[in-house]
Amino acid sequence: MLRIHFTDVDLARTRLAPAPDPMFEIAASLHRLQFRGGRWAYAGWYRTTRQRLREAGLERALRSVLLPLYPRAAYFPDFLTPADAVNGLDAGLESILATPPQRVVEEMTILDRTVGAPAWAGQLAGREARQEFAGILRAYFEAVVAPHAEQVQARIEAERAVRSRGLLDGGVEGMLAGLRPMLRWSPPVLEVAYPRQAEDRDLYLNGRGLTLVPSYFNWGEPVAFADPGLPPVVWYSLLHEPEARSVTAGAPDQSLTNLLGRARAVALRAASAGATTGEIARAAGVSASAASRHATALRDAGLITTVRHGPAVLHTLTPTGASLLRAATRRAEDDVTGTAV
């Protein structure tokens, strides 16, 4: 158990990351390759990952470099997931390259003491070796994480919409209270369900605030830096549902035809701001069961994504749904002004 202690200042400085953290998604995806738990939630990713790694010529680097440095264990080096990686892959790689050599050595020593480090790990203290390592990370990201970027972004945006509702209803404490079951808010402490093999510990924020980073590839157990002196960050897992069934030939056209109906058009527009099934029902003037069927059709067409928010579910647009809605809006505007599309 990790217990994170807040003050009023910490609550004011707590934030939810605006985008996926590419460096942590690299780490978490490598953990998925080492662990069978939750495979149903990443079935499509598993089907393509091994082939993509072969095509990119990364199988040897995976076995000899990446997996040894990112063990699914109580510890892997903090410098591999820098806090500012939420600003993008380039920012994360630059932070790895800028890590002081002494810190690299210290963290590799902890890795070796905890689960064993590869014999060459100390070489990463050198700039040249780290540049080569950064190249491997970039290649891995582009091969097996980037192809799923739209799906990851859609799920992160849905999670942000859910947390924003908690924030609006109850402030930061309301947002924290909605993070169950993996994180439990017991004011003024956020209790984090940590890996079983990790020791219980306390983290005092001391006015620094906390950054919460939802992760697509993380499964089950939130992760924080081992070093309490680093910027406080907690990466936590999204609540996954089984992947939607694949669309058969001709189905996309039928799904889009369904959208010409008034109720589903209203549902799509409502989802642009995040809407529960009840809110869709009220907006469209239909029953809750009918609204649920319309949401299912939109989700099967890849236009919305759905996440659970307490006893309710929240529907938000996928990138495809957002593009479709923008195109429809532009067409409507052009029709009003008499502009040809």
- Token output for 241: 């549902």
DSSP state of 142: I
Residue 329 has a pLDDT of 59
Residue with tokens 């642009």: 272
Say yes or no: domain 251-337 is CATH 3.30.420.40.
no
pLDDT in tens, 160-170: 888 888 888 89
Question: What secondary structure does DSSP assign to 75-135, as a single string?
Answer: ---GGGS-GGGGG-HHHHHHHHHHS-HHHHHHHHHHHHHHT---TTGGGGGSHHHHHHHHH
pLDDT category at 71 given cuts 50, 70, 90 is: very high
210: pLDDT strictly greater than 50: yes
Beta carbons of 232 and 209 less than 8 angstroms apart:
yes
- The beta strands (E) that lie in 132-260 are given as 183-186, 189-192, 201-204, 211-215, 223-224, 233-237
Task: Write the pLDDT tens digit of every residue in 81-134.
Answer: 999 998 999 999 999 999 999 999 999 999 999 999 999 999 999 999 999 999
Domain boundaries, the chain: 1-243, 251-337
pTM: 0.74
Chain mean pLDDT for the chain: 85
Chain centre to alpha carbon of residue 256: 28
Q: Which of 41-50, 211-220, 226-235, 319-328 has the lowest mean pLDDT?
A: 319-328
Give mean pLDDT, residues 8-13. 96
Percentage of the chain surpassing pLDDT 70?
A: 87
Task: Please give the Cα distance from 99 to 90 (Å, whole number).
Answer: 14
